Amino acid sequence: MEKTLFYIFAAILLFAATMVVTVRNPVRAALFLVLAFFTSAAIWLLLEAEFLAIVLVLVYIGAVMVLFLFVVMMLDMNLAPLQEGFARYLPVGLLVAVLIAIEMIMVLGSKNFGLDQFTVPVARGADYNNTKELGNLLYTVYVYPFELASVILLVAIVAAIALALRRRPSKTQDPVQQVRVRPQDRVRLVKMTAEKSQKIN
């Protein structure tokens, strides 16, 4: 039953990933990406990685993809150039896809990642806490790589803010200057002598 579910979820995942890169409508591509995330979470549940599955659903689907959908739907995107360039770049895209598939088969094949290379995982009881074990490894064995990744992400965030910051002149009001203003600074009374209008013959 577990193998059957794995192959079903894997087939759905491959279909959704293919539709993400081939569909022409960006909203539909984002929805297919949501489906791909859901099926990936289901596969992780089969691998007893409950924490990663929940993080994938909550963070990527619940936050990132919803924000991405809002941005895509709010922007008035012109789909004509995308549809015109699809057929032109299709041969190059297929060539790149085939090369990536060959590389993944060579690296992730049965020679390096076959069932005979790894032992069967030990079945855990109902009281086994996957999140606790992941936390123990993350903050003990891999604490320095974790902190290094955090610093790199922080630097990337600061750099992105600095690059996106644009100093635009904005009109602001100073309440202190408004209170201190005097009537003679704003209004000037000018006395002019009256002139008699000349009659035009």
Q: Does a structural domain hold residue 201?
A: no
What angle (nearest 5°) sits at the alpha carbon of residue 115, between those of residues 133 and 97? 95
Cβ neighbour number for residue 41 with a 10 Å cutoff: 21
Does residue 29 carry a pLDDT above 60?
yes
| Polymer length of the chain | 201
Mean pLDDT of 13-37: 86
Q: Six-digit token pair at 130?
A: 């996957």
Q: pLDDT tens digits for 97-148?
A: 899 888 888 887 777 776 666 666 677 777 777 788 888 888 888 889 989 9
Local confidence band at 83 (pLDDT 50, 70, 90 cut-offs): low
Q: Which domain holds residue 143?
A: 129-165
Domain count, the chain: 1
In sequence order, the 6+-apart residues with CB closer than 8 A to the CB of 77 are 26
Q: Residue with structure tokens 């060579």?
A: 106
Does residue 201 carry a pLDDT above 60?
no
Q: Does a structural domain hold residue 107?
A: no
Q: Does a structural domain hold residue 141?
A: yes
Q: Does a structural domain hold residue 60?
A: no
CA distance 83 to 113: 39
In sequence order, the 6+-apart residues with CB closer than 8 A to the CB of 21 are 29, 93
Does residue 96 carry a pLDDT above 80?
yes
In the chain, the amino acid numbered 78 is: N
Q: Does a structural domain hold residue 56?
A: no
Q: pLDDT tens digits for 177-193?
A: 777 777 777 777 777 77
Mean pLDDT of 3-23: 89
Q: Does a structural domain hold residue 139?
A: yes
Q: pLDDT tens digits for 145-178?
A: 989 999 998 998 888 788 777 666 666 777 777 7
Q: Does a structural domain hold residue 105?
A: no
Does residue 37 carry a pLDDT above 80?
yes
Q: Does a structural domain hold residue 157?
A: yes
